[in-house]
Amino acid sequence: MSHFTQIKTQIRDLTSLQAALTDLNINWKPGPQPIRGYRGQTHDAEIVIEQANGYDVGFSRNDDQYELVADLQYWQQPLSVEGFVNRVTQRYAYHTVVKETARQGFHVAEQQQNQDGSIRLVVQRWSA
């Protein structure tokens, strides 16, 4: 019986996910490769985050989005699962917005980190 839990996210772009994890100083390895779970079980993932206890956390593609995959009994991250997903999702959203606005010819003119944790971006585009 598998002990892995899959948690749905709204994450769809691997490059933005990788950038978000890097911003958060989370050491990750690119996949596909197996993440380690209970009694030697494995689950393939596109991103693997090794934990000191020998049980990994990862992100696995499911249809058009990535899911967080882990054996939650052995969760060993500084944040709760919900806090981890929220923090990663916020940085992912930041990278997605910056990437999409750049694609449309905009650049970030101003960026502000608010006390509540939100990020304010001002983007602009020069037109002739």
Whether pLDDT at 1 is above 60: no
- Quote the pTM value: 0.86
Rounded Cα gap, residues 51 and 108, in angstroms:
35
Segments making up each domain of the chain, as ranges? 5-124
Q: What is the mean pLDDT of residues 46-64?
A: 95
Q: What is the mean pLDDT of residues 63-92?
A: 93
Rounded Cα gap, residues 87 and 80, in angstroms:
10
Q: Show the tokens assigned to 68.
A: 């967080």
Rounded Cα gap, residues 82 and 84, in angstroms:
5
Of all residues in the chain, the percent with pLDDT exceeding 70 is 98
Rounded to the nearest integer, the mean pLDDT of the chain is 91
